[in-house]
Amino acid sequence: KGGKLIEGITNDRVASAPIPSCSRTLVIGVAKGQQKLAAIQAALKGRLINGLMTDEITAQSLLGS
């Protein structure tokens, strides 16, 4: 929450590739829609991603337009 990875049993059971450091490589998130705004904002705030692919309406919402 708030851009930080959550430690605990839920993430321990998820099988996925580890997220690389944004300082070393390009990490692109792909998401769209009002229901994903909070998650996108948290990923950007927490610097988990440094690139984003989304639709125009979601981009406008993120930019406050």
Give the domain extent around 24.
9-63
Q: pTM for this one? A: 0.74
Tell me if 2 is assigned to some domain: no
Query: So what's the pLDDT on residue 34?
Result: 94
* Domains held by the chain: number: 1
Q: Closest by alpha carbon to 25, among 58, 48, 44, 4?
A: 48
How does pLDDT run along the chain (65 residues), one tens digit per residue?
Answer: 577 777 777 767 777 777 788 888 999 999 999 999 999 999 999 888 999 999 999 999 999 97
31 within 8 A of 59, measured Cβ to Cβ: no
Tell me if 3 is assigned to some domain: no
Tell me if 34 is assigned to some domain: yes
Stated length of the chain: 65
Tell me if 50 is assigned to some domain: yes
Tell me if 40 is assigned to some domain: yes
